[in-house]
A and B are shown apart, each in its own frame.
Chain A
Amino acid sequence: MIKEELIQLNEKFENEIKGAQDAKQLNEIKVKIFGKMGALTILSKSMRDVSAEERPTIGALINHVRNNLEEKISQKEDAFKQEELMKKLDNEKVDITEPSKGFEVGALHPISRVIDKLTDICVEMGFSVVEGPEVETDYYNFEAMNIPKNHPSRDMQDTFFITENTLLRSQTSAVQAREMEKRKPPFKIVCPGKTYRNESDSTHSPIFHQLEGLVVDEKISMADLKAMLTTLMKRLYGDDTTIRFRPSFFPFTEPSIEVDVSCPNCHGKGCSTCKGTGMLELLGAGIVNPKVLEMSGIDSKKYSGFAFGFGLDRVAMILNGITNIRNFYKNDVRFLKQMR
C-alpha cells in the first residue's frame, strides 16, 4: 500500500520538477515534498504503521525516492542558474567592430626596419655590426680604399668636404680600413649608416644609407661571395630569389662586380619595378684588392677577403613599394603610418 503511494509520489513530483518554470516554482515544489507538511515527510512518518518485516524495504524505498527527487531538484536548479548566466552574458554583449581604445602605436621608419632586418641576418651568419664616424678623414674614405688624391676614380663620387682632409663619408666602405687596422683575421663585419654625396635631384638625395660588408679569412673567393649574397638576398626577399654577377669596377675590389637580384615583385618575369628586365641592380661587390689589405696591415699572401655594399634606401623602396626616395626624409606621418 505505502509502496504504491511512494512510487506514485515519486512519479508525480518528478513530473512537477520537470515542469517547473523558474526557481521560485521549484522552491514551492521542494516545500511540497520535503517541507514539514510535505508529502514525503508525511509518508515517512507513516513508517510507524509498517510491519517489522516490511520496514527495511520500505525504508530503503523512501530513501531512494528522497535521493532521487533531491537530485532532480538540484539538476533543475543548476539548469536555471545556467540559463540565468547565459541571459546575463547575452545582455553584456558589445559591438566588437567599435574602434579600440587608448592604445595607439606608432611605427618604425622603413629604413631602420631594413637595417634591423639585414643586421639580424648578418649576425646570424657570423658578422659583427660595427660603426664609423660620418665625418671621416680623406685617408679612410678614399686613400685607404685605393683611391689616391687626384685619381680619376675620385670622380665616381661627388663628395662634401669639411676641410682639405676631412669630409662627409661618401661610402660606408670608409669603415673597412678602420676595422682591418683593429681586427685580426678571420673576421666578418657589416656597417650600416648614413652616407653623403654632393648631388640632389628627383632620384638622388644628398643623404642616404648604405650597408657595407667585409669578410677576411684564408682562401675567400668569389664563390663564397656568391653563396653569402644568395643567402642574404633569399632571407631579405624570399626563398625563390636568385642573383647574377656582372663585371664592374671599384678601386678597392679586384675583381669587382655588380650584383643583380631577381625582382621580388615579379620574380623575374618583368614588371614596372625592374623596368621589364626581371632583375634589379642592387649591390656592388668584389674580392678585396690586395693593395687595400696591405695598406691596413693584413698579409695579402695569407689572407683574402670579399666586400659588398648597397644602398638601403633602394632596398627599403623595393621591399615596401615606395616610389619616391624623398619621402624617406620628409617624415610625414601619413607616410610613416603605413609602416605600422
Chain B
Amino acid sequence: MKVTYNWLKELTGVNASPEEIAKKLTSAGMEVEEIVYQNEHLHDVVVGKILKIEKHPQADRLVVCQVDIGKEIVQIITAATNVFEGAIVPVSLPGADLVNGIKIQKAKMRGVESCGMFCSGEELGIDENYFAGAGVNGILILPSDMKIGQPIEDALMLNDVVFDVGITPNRADCMSVIGIAREVCALYGVKLKKLNLSYDIDVYAKDTVRDYINVKVETENCYRYMASAITDVKIEKSPLWMRARLNAIGIKPINTLVDITNYVLVEIGQPLHAFDQKLIGNNQIIVRQAQKGEVIDALNHNTYSLDENVMVIADDKKPMVIAGVIGGIDSCINPDTKTCVLEAAVFDLKSIRVTSRKLGVRTDSSARYEKGVNVANAEIGMARALHLVSLLKCGKVARGIIDIASRKNESRKIVGSIDKINEILGVEIPKQDMVRILNSLGIETALLGNKLNCIVPPFREDIENDNDLAEEIIRLYGYDVYDKINYKLFENSKITEGCHHPRLLLERKFRNALVEHGFYENISYTLVSPDLVQKLNLKDERVNLVKIANPISEDISCLRSSIAHSLLLNLNYNLSVGNKDLKLFECGKIFISQKVENSDLPLEKDMIGMVVLSNNFDFFNLKGIVENLLNKTSVNYRIERSKEPYLHPGISADIMVSDFKIGSFGKIHPVVAQNYDLPENVYYAELDSGYLANLPEKKYNVQNISKFPIVERDLAVVVDEQVKVGDMLDVIKSACGKLYYEASLFDIYRNENLGNNKKSLAFNIKLSDMNKTLTDEEVAQVIKKVLKAFTYKFGAVLR
C-alpha cells in the first residue's frame, strides 16, 4: 500500500520527519518497506523564462538562449526546436542530477558557454497524463503564470515522500490512507482530522436521483449498494494537487470523475464506479450473478466470458461491470458524458476473490474488496466523492442517494479482561496505558474495575477477544518490554517428558553408520519429472504418481515414487562435475497415489536409499553395509532373488519379512544405468525405514561362554557353481550340532583345473564345548560328519 507523507500530514497534522514516521509505523507492525523521495532527482532544477534566442555562431542546429531564472540571467545552448522567446521552461542548472542519469555541468558547446539545460517532461520523470506538454517530443513548455525562479519540484508539486507500507491480511482497514493515518495518530497520541464530507446539492433541479436511476439487488453477495447521480458533468483534467497525489502513488490521472473515484479508493479504501447514465439501459441497475454465456468487454480491452460464480452490475439487458473487479467499456465515463451515476458498494470478499482469481484480473478495486471493505465505509466513500465533485466543480449532485443494504456494520461492544491480557502478555502493562492505547486506536475504552469496556468501530472487524486486544496494546506499548525481562524457562508450567521420534532416531543411527562407511547424505527434491516411471522401468503401484495440479514446470510436477530416481540423478550430476568414487544416501519419503483407508491422502513411505559407484566395490560389499544397518534393528528377515525392475536380475536381492518386502539391494540394471547416463557398475540399496522403526527395540540374549578353548579347522571342498554357500553354512551348523560355535567362508577359488562349472570353497569351522577341552579325535569326527553331509547333499569333493 502506497501512501504519501503530505497526505498523511493532511489527515493527522503530525509534523514529524518522514523517516521518524516510517520507523514508528514499522515498530507498530505497519512495515514501511520503502521510502521514495519524489524530488530525489529534481534538485537544481528551476522555472525559467527564455528572454532571447540567437543563432549559435558555430553550429546551425544549436541556438543560444538568455534565460531568466529569477535571481540572475544565464546563457543556455539548446538543440530543441520547440522553444521560443517568452517561453516558460524547466531549467536544470549545474549540479542537477536528472532521473535519466544526466548530470549537469557548465560546458562550452562549440566555443560558447552553456550554463545548464532545458528539460523535457521525461527528464523530470513525468508524462502527458500528469502535466500538459510533458509528453511532447521536446522541452516541456510550462504555463505562463508560473513563478520564475521557483524550484521545479514545488512548481510541479513533485515534492512529496512516498511510503510503501506492507499491510498484513488482518488489517484490511489499512488498505487506505485514512487507515494508516489512524495508526500514525495512535502513535503520536493525536486525533485524526475530520474529513470534509460536505457537498452542495442541486436544490433547484426538480429531478432526484430516482429520476436517473433505479437499483435492484438480486444477489446475497452484495451487502450494500449506494448510488447517486451527478448532472452537468464536466470531464476535464483534475487540478494539479489531485493529479500530484495520484501520480505519487503510481495511479495515472485521467479526468475529474475518474480521478475522484481513484482518490477516494486510495484515501478511504472504498472502491467506486462511475457510469455514464445515458448508457445504462432503461435507467436500471441490477446487481446479480451472471448467467452462463454472458460476456463483457472490460476496460482493460479484454473480453471475459462469465458464469453464475461471477457477480455483475447489469442494466436491464447486459452486464456493465464485473462487480468489484473491473468496469465494462460500454458504460464507462467518456468525454461526452453529461450525467454520471456513481456507485459505492460493498461485496462479499470471497465472491470477489474467486472472480478475480478465476478471470486473472487484479485491480486496485478487487485488491480492496477481497481483503474486506466494511459496510459502513460505503457512505463515507460516497460522501467524500461528492465533496470532491463540489470542490472541483465538475458536476451537480442530484438530490438523494439510493442505499440498499442487506447487512449493517455497526460498532460492537466487547469486554476485555485486564488479568487475561496480562496473562497472555506475561508482563504487567499499567491499566491506564491499556485504556490510552485502545482509545488512541479509535476503540473507545472505559475502565471498569479489572475489565475494559470497549466499543470497537466498524473498521476494526479483526478485534474480537482478549488476544486481539493484547496484540493492539503490546504493539503500541512497544515490544521492547521483553528486552528487559528475565523470565525462567517454563517457570509456571508443568514438566513434560521430551521424546525423540522413533523413526528419526533409527534414521540417525543409519545415517551415522553410513557416514562412517564413507557415504555422503543427500537431500533431493521430492518433486520430480514423471519420466521416472520409464527410467526406472517401474511396473507395480509405483507407476501411480502423485501429480501436482499447478506445477511450476514439468520436471518438478510429480512426487517421487522411488528414492532410486533421486540418487541416480545425483550420481549423474556428481559425475558430470568430475566427482569420482561416489557413495551417496538419502532418507526421505516416497509417495504413491493410492486410496488409503479413512484418508484423502496418498500413501507416504519413509525410505532410506543408498547408491555406490566405486572401484573395488561389488554386490557383497553392499550386502555387508545392508546387513550392518539391518543389524541395528530387531528385524528377522530373509533374502530372495530380487524382482525390482531396475536391478540386475542375477545380482540383486529383496529383503523379505514373511511375504512383505522391506528393502532390496543389488547392481543397477544395465538398461536403467543407461537411462540415467551412468556406467554399469552402480550399486543401489533401499530399506523401508518406516517399517523398521516400528519394530520393537532390539533385545540381546547373552549365552554363557565356555571356559574351554575354541578349536578351529579349515575345510576346502570343490562343488558345482550352482551350490549355494548359504546352504552349505546351514549344513555345517546342523552337522556340528552342540559343538558348533561359528563357521565362515574364507576363500572362493575358480580355475580350469577344477573342472568346468566348478568352484572351490574354503570354510573355517570353530567348535567349542561347554564342559571340556575337545580332543583331536572328537574334532575329527565332527569334521568327518560335515564332509559326509557335503558329499551327500552337494556332491562336494575334498580338495
Task: Report whether A254 and B552 are in contact in the complex, using a CB–CB cutoff of 8 Å.
Answer: no
Q: Does B467 contact A (CB under 8 A)?
A: yes
Counting residue pairs across A and B whose Cβ atoms lie within 8 Å, the total is 255
Known: A186-B493, A255-B467, A331-B584. A247 touches B511 (CB 8 A): no
Known: A107-B521, A124-B498, A329-B525. A249 touches B487 (CB 8 A): no
Interface centre among A128, A254, A256 (most CB of B within 10 A): A254
Task: Report whether B546 and A162 are in contact in the complex, using a CB–CB cutoff of 8 Å.
Answer: yes
Task: Report whether B474 and A135 are in contact in the complex, using a CB–CB cutoff of 8 Å.
Answer: no
- Residues of A near B483 (CB, < 8 A) are 242, 244
Choice from A119, A163, A223, A256 contacting B482 with Cβ under 8 Å? A223
Q: Does B582 contact A (CB under 8 A)?
A: yes
A234 to chain B, nearest CB (A): 11
B587-617 interface bits toward A, Cβ cutoff 8 Å, 1 = contact, 0 = none: 1110100000000111010000000000000
- Is the interface on chain A under 10, 10 to 19, 20 to 34, or 35 or more residues? 35 or more
- Residues of B near A111 (CB, < 8 A) are 523
Task: Report whether B604 and A133 are in contact in the complex, using a CB–CB cutoff of 8 Å.
Answer: yes
Choice from B169, B548, B573 contacting A331 with Cβ under 8 Å? B573
Task: Report whether B498 and A206 are in contact in the complex, using a CB–CB cutoff of 8 Å.
Answer: no
Task: Report whether A105 and B518 are in contact in the complex, using a CB–CB cutoff of 8 Å.
Answer: yes
**B-facing residues in A79-127 (Cβ within 8 Å):** 104-109, 111-112, 115-116, 119, 122-127
A118-153 interface bits toward B, Cβ cutoff 8 Å, 1 = contact, 0 = none: 010011111111110111110000000000011111
Task: Report whether B423 and A221 are in contact in the complex, using a CB–CB cutoff of 8 Å.
Answer: yes
Q: Does B734 contact A (CB under 8 A)?
A: no
- Residues of A near B508 (CB, < 8 A) are 116
**B-facing residues in A177-227 (Cβ within 8 Å):** 186-188, 192, 194, 196, 198, 200, 206-207, 215, 217-227
Q: Does B753 contact A (CB under 8 A)?
A: no
Task: Report whether A123 and B520 are in contact in the complex, using a CB–CB cutoff of 8 Å.
Answer: no
Q: Does B172 contact A (CB under 8 A)?
A: yes
- Residues of A near B172 (CB, < 8 A) are 152
Task: Report whether B474 and A255 are in contact in the complex, using a CB–CB cutoff of 8 Å.
Answer: yes
Q: Does B497 contact A (CB under 8 A)?
A: yes
Task: Report whether B591 and A287 are in contact in the complex, using a CB–CB cutoff of 8 Å.
Answer: no
Task: Report whether A222 and B520 are in contact in the complex, using a CB–CB cutoff of 8 Å.
Answer: no
Task: Report whether B496 and A188 are in contact in the complex, using a CB–CB cutoff of 8 Å.
Answer: yes
A218 to B492, CA, bound (A): 8
Q: Does A68 contact B (CB under 8 A)?
A: no
Choice from B168, B426, B468, B494 contacting A221 with Cβ under 8 Å? B426
Choice from A163, A290, A331 contacting B570 with Cβ under 8 Å? A331
A108 to B591, CA, bound (A): 24
Task: Report whether B426 and A156 are in contact in the complex, using a CB–CB cutoff of 8 Å.
Answer: no
Task: Report whether B499 and A123 are in contact in the complex, using a CB–CB cutoff of 8 Å.
Answer: yes
Q: Does A265 contact B (CB under 8 A)?
A: no
Task: Report whether B470 and A255 are in contact in the complex, using a CB–CB cutoff of 8 Å.
Answer: yes
Known: A206-B552, A228-B490. A126 touches B496 (CB 8 A): yes
Choice from A107, A134, A151, A254 contacting B468 with Cβ under 8 Å? A254
Task: Report whether B527 and A152 are in contact in the complex, using a CB–CB cutoff of 8 Å.
Answer: no
Known: A328-B523, A333-B574. A224 touches B490 (CB 8 A): yes
Q: Does B559 contact A (CB under 8 A)?
A: yes
A130 to B588, CA, bound (A): 15
- Residues of B near A302 (CB, < 8 A) are none
- Residues of B near A226 (CB, < 8 A) are 426, 482, 485, 487
B142-181 interface bits toward A, Cβ cutoff 8 Å, 1 = contact, 0 = none: 0000000000000000000000000011111000000000
Q: Does A261 contact B (CB under 8 A)?
A: no
- Residues of B near A333 (CB, < 8 A) are 520, 574, 579, 582, 584
Task: Report whether B520 and A336 are in contact in the complex, using a CB–CB cutoff of 8 Å.
Answer: yes
- Residues of A near B584 (CB, < 8 A) are 331, 333
B481-522 interface bits toward A, Cβ cutoff 8 Å, 1 = contact, 0 = none: 011010111111111111111011000100110111111111
Task: Report whether B485 and A223 are in contact in the complex, using a CB–CB cutoff of 8 Å.
Answer: yes
A329 to B499, CA, bound (A): 29
- Residues of A near B589 (CB, < 8 A) are 134, 194
Task: Report whether B354 and A223 are in contact in the complex, using a CB–CB cutoff of 8 Å.
Answer: no
Residue of A nearest to B473 (CB): A255
A137 to B548, CA, bound (A): 14
**A-facing residues in B687-746 (Cβ within 8 Å):** none
Residue of A nearest to B593 (CB): A162
Residue of B nearest to A248 (CB): B29
Choice from B349, B489, B522 contacting A109 with Cβ under 8 Å? B522
- Residues of A near B489 (CB, < 8 A) are 125, 227-228, 231
- Residues of B near A221 (CB, < 8 A) are 423-426
Q: Does A246 contact B (CB under 8 A)?
A: yes
Q: Does B102 contact A (CB under 8 A)?
A: no
Q: Does A165 contact B (CB under 8 A)?
A: yes
Q: Does A275 contact B (CB under 8 A)?
A: no
- Residues of A near B494 (CB, < 8 A) are 186, 217
Q: Does B353 contact A (CB under 8 A)?
A: yes
Choice from B511, B550, B579 contacting A108 with Cβ under 8 Å? B511
What 9 A-B pairs come out closest when comparing CB atoms?
A: A223-B426, A221-B426, A247-B29, A249-B168, A255-B471, A123-B498, A150-B350, A247-B475, A245-B479
Given contacts A133-B601, A246-B29, list 14 more A-B pairs with CB under 8 A: A109-B523, A125-B498, A128-B496, A130-B501, A150-B353, A161-B549, A162-B546, A162-B548, A162-B549, A194-B588, A196-B527, A223-B482, A226-B426, A336-B522
Chain A positions within 8 Å of B, measured between CB atoms, are 104-109, 111-112, 115-116, 119, 122-131, 133-137, 149-153, 155-156, 160-163, 165-166, 168, 186-188, 192, 194, 196, 198, 200, 206-207, 215, 217-228, 231, 242, 244-249, 251, 254-257, 287, 289-290, 304, 328-334, 336-337
* A-B pairs with beta carbons under 8 Å apart, 20 shown: A106-B520, A109-B520, A125-B498, A135-B601, A135-B604, A137-B601, A152-B371, A162-B547, A166-B601, A223-B427, A223-B485, A244-B480, A244-B482, A255-B425, A287-B467, A329-B523, A331-B523, A331-B573, A332-B574, A334-B577
